[in-house]
Structure 1
Amino acid sequence: MGLNINIPAFLFSTISLLMSAYGSRFSKISKLIRDLSIELDNNNLEERIYLKNQILIFSKRVRYIKRLQLAAISSLFFSALSMFCLLFEKINFANITFIIALIFFLVSLLISLIEILYSIKALQINFKI
């Protein structure tokens, strides 16, 4: 069974949906960091320590989200390149670029898992208070 245009196109649409979700997560966490930074100045020492810990975790999450977005964009690029190669019947190159797209897609999912673990860690800090 050879690679046909539908397979990279399916990955293309999946990545587009993930990019939307990743962008939404990035925006929400960025807003939380800004809100917590403002709140930091208006609290006692114990609450400041808590807020700083939350901000540190949110900052790590933002870094991971940027990385997973980069991996997802790379996957999207190589998926589109694979479709382009198929249109010009460059089957070997299409197969290689599709494999690269899949690798970037898996990297994106793995980084997303790590970011979710940091999200859980942030919630655990909440439960300790």
Structure 2
Amino acid sequence: MQMEISVPALLFPAISLLLLAYTNRFLGLSSVIRKLHEDYQRAPDAKILRQIANLRRRVALIRGMQAAGASAMFLCVLCMFLIFFGLQSGAHIVFSVSLAAMLISLAISLSEIRMSSDALNILLADMEEDLARHEAH
């Protein structure tokens, strides 16, 4: 089966949007970490310390998401070069690996979203505990 150069090019907008979304997640997480650092420096709190492991894992996941997404983009460009030079069998293999990298990136993203939800649930539980203590007095 002959693959045209437009096939891998179709993934460019999707991968670009994914990378933009991942960058936004990273920037959001960075601002949360900086704010928690400031809060902890001002008034050390065990609640902040409980979030550190979650935040470290999320940073690592986002790095993995970005790496897999960038790999998918790199492989799409490589695939286009292979098509351009008439190396169809290599192009098929590289394009397949590119799709796999994109799937890996999306799977890691789902895991990071779950962890983000877990972090929010920790904060909600802390607020509920504070509310229950306040109402008991």
Output the TM-score relative to the length of structure 2: 0.86
User: In 2, are the aligned partners of 1:37 and 1:55 still within 8 Å (CA)?
Assistant: no
2:100 to 83, 92, 103: 103
Structure 1 residue runs without a partner (length 5+) = none
2:115 to 107, 115, 118: 118
Question: What are the Cα deviations for residues 71-98 of structure 1, in whole angstroms up to 9, with x where unaligned?
Answer: 1111111111111111111110110100
Question: What are the Cα deviations for residues 87-112 of structure 1, in whole angstroms up to 9, with x where unaligned?
Answer: 11111011010001001000000100
User: Aligned runs of 1:29-48 on 2, under 5 Å?
Assistant: 29-43=29-43, 48=45
Shift of 1:54: 2.1
User: Aligned runs of 1:21-60 on 2, under 5 Å?
Assistant: 21-43=21-43, 48-60=45-57
Please identify runs of 4+ aligned residues in structure 1 that moved more than 4 A. Answer: none
Question: What are the Cα deviations for residues 11-37 of structure 1, in whole angstroms up to 9, with x where unaligned?
Answer: 122111111111111111011111101
The aligned counterpart of 1:66 is 63
Shift of 1:57: 1.3
Output the TM-score relative to the length of structure 1: 0.91
- What RMSD, in angstroms, separates the aligned Cα atoms of the two structures? 1.3
Name the count of aligned residue pairs: 126
The structure that has the greater radius of gyration is 2
